[in-house]
Amino acid sequence: MTDTIRTPVTIEEVAAVAGVSRSTVSRVVNGSTAVSPAALESVRRAIDELNYIPNRAARSLASRATMAIALVVPEDTTRFFGDPFFATIVNGINARMRRSDYVLNLIIASDDPQDKATAYLRSGAVDGAIIVSHHTSDSFIDRIAAAMPVVYGGRPVRQRERDYYVDVDNKAGGRLATEYLIGKGHRRIATITGPLTMPGGIDRLDGFREAMDAAGLTPAAIEDGDFTADGAAAAMTRILESKTEVDAIFVASDLMARGALAALARVGIRVPDDVALIGYDDSPVATSVVPALTTVRQPSFHQGELMADTLLSLLAGGRPPHVTLLETALIERESA
């Protein structure tokens, strides 16, 4: 008895069994969402029935595609691995990528003075990029965006009509946190901001200012905490040393709120008995500190999924929305 060599199943055979076009099968295989639920189910059944295995190498040669996407994080490694925001957003991106035929490459670059990361990405090593946590000084990302499809996590620092981004309504979130403190009767409210070189830091401060202005209040203090625990502890110390009277603090991230709590505890100021404190993110940090943080929840995991979904749609020839803006929600706990 001789073994029979099975000819690989073709995409055309899958299309015939599914009763759809070849391009529809291609969109399903590439993870595009531009497919009706009925067609998606038909193609998946046909793939299972025929045991179809996409020939990535052949597709790459034909289309010059690498079947790889870069996640570009313009931060240093300490910040990237130390901030739970990044872990959540990467989990969301990866969850969506697992349902596609692409692999994810992580590029961490706090700056790129020698253009190493930029040159690598522009060389054709990836088909597209997701860029998160960018600053006004990160001009190298413009050169990346000029070479390939890009989706930004957060509003781009130099926004153009052609840009695609998925963001949280940070201005509304900052306003929500501040209105909550005002509603609790607080009037001497300070804020510890993120870097004002980042749209997220700017927008949360703008929301704080809007709520204070609407209530006829003047901010007790505004200090930059750099989106780090140490930076926020230093900012909190500056507020305390200035002898400014403060009865509440809006801290623009949970990680910074942890640093502010530590600085307050060192001088015997109790939260919320002596001063109320509210964070932002609803990250795991919010429930790991004492007291647990009242905070503004941003849907970071879902944001990651949508960023990946938008880029995959672009790579498949789709027309996703240029701007996707997600809502925030207030989570009440013990600190305010």
178 in the same domain as 109? no
- pLDDT single digits (tens) 280-329: 999 999 999 999 999 999 999 999 999 999 999 998 888 899 999 999 99
**Which range among 87-96, 125-134, 157-166, 216-225 has the greatest average pLDDT?**
216-225
Cα 283 versus chain centre, distance = 13
Residue 47 pLDDT > 80, yes or no? yes
Domain region containing 198 = 170-297
User: Within a domain: residue 5?
Assistant: no
Name the one residue in this structure whose structure tokens are 């505004």.
Answer: 222
Which letter does DSSP use for residue 87 in this model?
A: H
280 in the same domain as 188? yes
Token readout for 304 is 């990651």
User: Within a domain: residue 196?
Assistant: yes
**Sign of the torsion angle spanned by Cα atoms 232, 236, 242, 245:** positive
Token readout for 230 is 């140490």
291 in the same domain as 195? yes
d(CA 159, CA 239): 34
User: Within a domain: residue 63?
Assistant: no
23 in the same domain as 142? no
261 in the same domain as 202? yes
What pLDDT score was predicted for residue 142?
A: 80
175 in the same domain as 141? no
What pLDDT score was predicted for residue 57?
A: 45
Residue 297 · residue 331 · CB < 8 Å: yes
What CATH number has the domain bearing residue 15? 1.10.260.40
d(CA 136, CA 24): 40
Which letter does DSSP use for residue 118 in this model?
A: H
d(CA 249, CA 192): 7
Let me know how long the chain is.
336
User: Within a domain: residue 60?
Assistant: no
The total of structural domains in the chain comes to: 3
321 in the same domain as 311? yes
Q: Which residue has the higher pLDDT, 22 or 260?
A: 260
284 in the same domain as 183? yes
Backbone angles phi, psi at 222, to 5 degrees: -135, 115
What CATH number has the domain bearing residue 193? 3.40.50.2300
321 in the same domain as 215? no
Residue 92 pLDDT > 50, yes or no? yes
Q: DSSP letters of 221-252?
A: EEEE-TTSHHHHHHHHHHHHHTT---SEEEES
300-315 and 84-97 helices cross at what angle (nearest 10)?
40
Q: For 11-15, 189-193, 277-281, which range has the lowest pLDDT when averaged over its residues?
A: 11-15
What pLDDT score was predicted for residue 281?
A: 93
d(CA 200, CA 23): 39
What pLDDT score was predicted for residue 30?
A: 64
Mean pLDDT of 9-26: 88
d(CA 55, CA 17): 18
pTM: 0.77
User: Within a domain: residue 124?
Assistant: yes
The CA-based dihedral angle spanning residues 336, 216, 297, 157, taken in that order and rounded to the nearest 10 degrees: -140
User: Within a domain: residue 278?
Assistant: yes
175 in the same domain as 164? no
Alpha helices in the chain (DSSP H): 11-18, 22-29, 37-50, 56-63, 77-82, 84-97, 116-120, 140-145, 170-183, 199-214, 229-241, 254-266, 285-288, 300-315
What pLDDT score was predicted for residue 4?
A: 43
Of 271, 247, 321, 266, the C-alpha closest to 33 is 321
Backbone angles phi, psi at 253, to 5 degrees: -160, 155
User: Within a domain: residue 335?
Assistant: no
Query: Counting beta carbons within 10 angstroms of the beta carbon of residue 55, is it exposed (0 to 12), middle (13 to 18) or buried (19 or more)?
Result: middle
219 in the same domain as 198? yes
186 in the same domain as 41? no
User: Within a domain: residue 160?
Assistant: yes
